[in-house]
Amino acid sequence: MDNGLLVVISGPSGAGKGTICKRLREETNNLNISVSATTRKPRDGETEGESYFFTDEEEFKKKINNSEFLEYANVYGNYYGTPKKEVFRQLEEGNDVILEIDIQGALQVKKNYPEGVFIFILPPSLKELRNRIEERGTDSKEVILRRMKCAYDELNYVFKYDYVILNDEVEAAVKKIQCIITAEKNRVIRKREIINKVKEV
């Protein structure tokens, strides 16, 4: 059986990664999300192994040292990471795994698992990105300007990715990503087994 695909959906904050991933999971068979590990305390209703794998800082750092994460980050004092073991088990069972992740995380994943499929979600324009961030209404003018500068710089990382999807219409973006998954499953580099099977006379 062929391995599953690791599909990394990434891009600047505000590009619409979350909405796309949600629709993609709803509309695609056999597409799993990975459960992250975190040192953050569980919130009400969160369950171990489903929402997150909860762990303490000592344990988390030991796993960092053992290269047990595809990627990790420290956000406001809490660690978050994607455990290799969990993801690789799913891929080996032939299931596709989707990771929705920021650009720094995606670059770490690429280093640890270059066989992944790396998709950069573009906002329709930086103007539109600004509108989206402003509409959230949670950020001050100064923060918005800093985020816009950051998004502008982040666009340069698109050239580290395999594919770029312009998110001007969510359903169209989802269909394109489904096509990318189908296409990637038919890449010669992923198909050695089938080629050997055809050769049987």
Q: Which residues contact 121 (CB under 8 A, 6 or more apart)?
A: 9, 10, 11, 15, 16, 17, 20, 165, 167, 173
Pair 98, 21: CB distance under 8 Å: yes
**Binding flag, residue 163, its own copies (CB under 8 A):** yes
Tell the smallest beta-carbon distance from residue 196 to its own copies (Å). Answer: 9
Distance separating alpha carbons of residues 119 and 122, to the nearest angstrom: 10
C-beta of 59 vs 128, nearer to its own copies: 128
- DSSP string computed for 34-51: PPPEE-SPPPTT--BTTT
Among 71, 123, 133, 174, binds its own copies (CB under 8 A): 123
Q: In the bound complex, what is the minimum distance in angstroms from residue 117's beta carbon to its own copies?
A: 10
Q: Is 52 in the site for its own copies (CB under 8 A)?
A: no
Whole-number Å distance between alpha carbons of 113 and 119: 14
Q: Which of 35, 73, 170, 180 binds its own copies (CB under 8 A)?
A: 180
Q: CB of 127: closest distance to its own copies in angstroms?
A: 7
Q: Among the candidate windows 21-29, 44-52, 70-78, 121-129, which touches its own copies by CB under 8 A?
A: 121-129
Query: 9, 87, 165, 174: which one contacts its own copies (CB under 8 A)?
Result: 165
Q: At what angle do helices 126-136 and 141-154 cross, to 10 degrees?
A: 140
